[in-house]
Amino acid sequence: MKRVAHTLLALVILTAPAFANVIVSSPGNGETVSSPATFAATGNTTTCARGVASMGVYVDNELVYVVDGTSLDVSLPLAAGAHNAVIEEWDYCGGATTATVPITVTAQAGVWVTSPANNSTVSWLTSYVATATTACSSGVAAMGIYVNNQLVYVSPGGTLNAQVNLAPGTEHTVVEEWDNCGGASTAPVNLTVTGSGNTLTNLQTDQWNSWGQKAPTYADCSAPCSGIQWSTSPGIQAPSLTGNATQFNLSGTTPYSDVLWENPLMGQFTTQGISDTSHTLIPSLHNFTYDAYFYLPNTSAAQAMEFDINMFLNSVGMSWSTECRIEGGNEWDVWDNVNTKWVPTGVACNPVQGAWNHVTINVQREADNTLRYESITLNGVTANINQTFPPFTVPSSWYGITVNYQMDGDYTEASYTSYLDKFSFMYW
């Protein structure tokens, strides 16, 4: 009898069912919620000895959130109406389990800030991500950010994604939406700001160096440069955001030729009084932000617009060059220093004609002087680039940091004009 009992016990053990499941704590099945909706769940499995690898949220058959690990807890902005939400776990053995959670989102008016969290501690350069909903049938007109009762950023529509430079200490900020019916909603975001950066402002007003770059060799040539003409006019009041914009003009007869404007900020020939003759400041810097507003009355005449940061020290050259191809396919490119070529990012670049476009470019110099392109933001939409390239060699006498602004001519070298305003450069 003992042998029989042992055999039956073994059979029970061998045939006991294995399982994997997703346990959802929020939202409830069929629940009516406001936006952003909170999704909280855990996943487990006994079918894979290595356990759960990651979890995600699908909304209406679209994957909108993924996190590594066995649990998730996230607030996601959703449009008003009925949605079919699915929370899924993926294990390390290739298996997966889902839990379906139908929900209804109310058409409640309000501002929903995903980042930064209220009463959190942040760095001086802080990313704001938010959405807004409204009962107004015409929708949300715009969203903005106030810092200590001063409006510092505005973007059209019901979404906001921007980086804001904050002073160290306690900052009272507010994200606000304005709808097309005259209504408004706000969300306070109180912050403690740590660290500090250095910012150079109104760079468009400086005296810029300039060169023509004649196709097909693109060697720099000083004016007069056969086949290319260019000029600048500072102190422009309209179009302008500050009443002190600078106008840049390109024309000529040699197709695909360009004009490069350069502003030496630090080191040799500094326009900012930062000569760094002791060679202590520039070697300590690793993070840079190029932030400017540009205006194109006629985008169809521009082949491309370029925005560059350059750093030179110890015979090492680093050029973080970004190009918004317009006639060339409406895409952002970044520059490969060693192979001297543009590399497409796959990120769209569609500046608005006849309006101010806000561009923010974040880059980093790594410990071994590798160049990292971190992100590009155009008109409130941020694309994370995260591409790296090696530096190149320059004469040992070169020392400093410069910024460039460049206008590229098209296949007819059509004349066109652009404007720069509120141009700042942050470094730390």
Query: Which tokens in the block code for residue 77?
Result: 């902005």
Residue-level pLDDT at 64: 93
Domain end point (choices 170, 196, 222)? 196
Whether residue 419 sits in one domain with residue 282:
yes
CA angle 331/295/292 to nearest 5° reads 75
Same domain, 204 and 155: no
Same domain, 410 and 301: yes
Does residue 7 form part of some domain?
Answer: no
Does 256 lie in the same domain as 337? Answer: yes
> In which domain, by residue range, is 74 found?
12-105
Does any domain span residue 237? yes
- List the structure tokens of 102: 């139908």
Nearest by Cα to 164 from 135, 190, 127: 127
89 and 117: one domain? Answer: no
Does 4 map to a domain? no
Closest C-alpha to 46, from 97, 101, 100, 99? 97
Q: Which helix (H) or strand (E) holds 398?
A: none
Burial class (CB in 10 A: 0-12, 13-18, 19+), 28: exposed
Domain end marker among 162, 196, 230: 196
Instruction: Report the CATH number that the domain containing residue 145 is assigned in CATH.
Output: 2.60.40.10
End-to-end CA distance of the chain: 80
pLDDT tens, position by position, for the chain (428 residues)? 333 333 333 333 344 445 779 999 999 888 877 777 889 999 999 889 999 999 999 999 999 999 999 999 998 888 878 999 999 999 999 999 999 999 988 766 789 898 899 999 887 778 899 988 887 878 899 999 999 888 888 889 999 988 787 877 899 999 999 999 888 999 999 999 886 668 899 999 999 999 999 999 998 999 999 999 999 999 999 999 999 999 999 999 999 999 999 999 999 999 999 999 999 999 999 999 999 999 999 999 999 999 999 999 999 999 999 999 999 899 999 999 999 999 999 999 999 999 999 999 999 999 999 999 999 989 878 888 999 999 999 999 999 999 999 999 999 999 999 999 999 999 98
Say yes or no: 279 and 372 in one domain.
yes
Whether the Cβ atoms of residue 171 and residue 160 lie closer than 8 Å to each other = no
User: Of the residues 196, 217, 239, which one is the last residue of a structural domain?
Assistant: 196
Q: Are strands 120-123 and 184-194 parallel, antiparallel or unpaired?
A: parallel
Q: The CATH number of the domain where 353 resides is what?
A: 2.60.120.260
- Do 319 and 217 fall within a single domain? yes
Q: Is the domain of 150 the same as that of 30?
A: no
Examine residue 393 and state whether it is found in any structural domain, yes or no.
yes
Q: With contact defined as beta carbons under 8 Å apart, do 220 and 181 qualify?
A: no
In what helix (H) or strand (E) does residue 387 lie, and over which residues does it extend?
strand 381-389
pLDDT at 107: 64
Same domain flag for 226 and 182: no
Number of domains in the chain: 3
Whole-model pTM: value is 0.63
Q: Is 6 exposed, middle or buried (0-12, 13-18, 19+ CB in 10 A)?
A: exposed
Residue 4's pLDDT is 36
One domain, residues 263 and 412: yes
Beta partners for 192? 121, 170
Q: Are residues 282 and 355 both part of a single domain? A: yes
Q: What is the pLDDT at residue 18?
A: 54
Same domain (yes/no): 313, 259: yes
* Antiparallel, parallel or unpaired: β 287-295 and 356-365: antiparallel
12-19: long-range contacts (C-beta < 8 A, 24 or more apart)? 18/46, 18/47, 19/45, 19/46, 19/47
Contact by Cβ (8 Å): 128, 103: no
- Domain assignment present for residue 174? The answer is yes
Alpha-carbon span 110 to 185, nearest angstrom: 5
User: What SS3 state is found at 422?
Assistant: strand
Residue 249 lies in a domain: yes
Sign of the dihedral through C-alpha 151, 152, 156, 159: negative
